[in-house]
Amino acid sequence: MPSISHLSIILGGARSGKSTFAERLASSANRPRAYIATSQAFDVEMEAKIIKHQQDRGPDWQTIEAPLDIAGALAQVSANSVVLIDCLTLWLSNQMHADADIDAEVTNLLTVLSASPNPVICVSNEVGMGLVPDTPLGRQFRDLQGMLNRKIAEQADLAVFVAAGLPLALKGTLPEGLT
């Protein structure tokens, strides 16, 4: 069975191919796969996007909806599975909208990721490469997302940046066949 890192983070911009790469990485482990979905369908467009993602993944994935409670979702995953969390950007946004204590939530997330008996792949947007947001909330989100990405990457064995569908290992080594 190919080796997979205990914790991986896959970063990229919107529509960069990061989720597709993360799914390929999870599939390369030849284990049962669990998908922790953090998105919520607040409109028809998002609902259609979620349905398309589910169809693209196919029925081989255990899907757990967890817009806020990643720890609870990880506890539901079968042993010897590989876990894909898609995505931390929406999770952070959900936490902010819930007026959560972000520092406490991030600390808890890092703890549960470290303690997971299963390998975990996190998908997150790299939001710091664009324009400076023109609102205080936008700047706060950008700053918190950058902090979250740094903390996950620091703890991760594998950090990959995806641009135009092409993965670039920032930390660790890509498994054969995924370059």
Q: Which of the pair, 58 or 161, is modelled with greater confidence?
A: 161
Fold of 7-171: Rossmann fold (3.40.50)
Of residues 53, 142, 151, 171, which has the active-site annotation? 53
Q: Does residue 1 have a pLDDT over 60?
A: no
Mean pLDDT of 154-170: 97
Residue 97: active-site member? no
What 3 state SS string does the chain have? CCCCCCEEEEEECCCCCHHHHHHHHHHCCCCCEEEEECCCCCCHHHHHHHHHHHHHHCCCEEEEECCCCHHHHHHCCCCCCEEEEECHHHHHHHHHHCCCCHHHHHHHHHHHHHHCCCCEEEEEECCCCCCCCCCHHHHHHHHHHHHHHHHHHHHCCEEEEEECCEEEEEECCCCCCCC
Reported pTM: 0.93
pLDDT tens string 133-160:
899 999 999 999 999 999 999 999 999 9
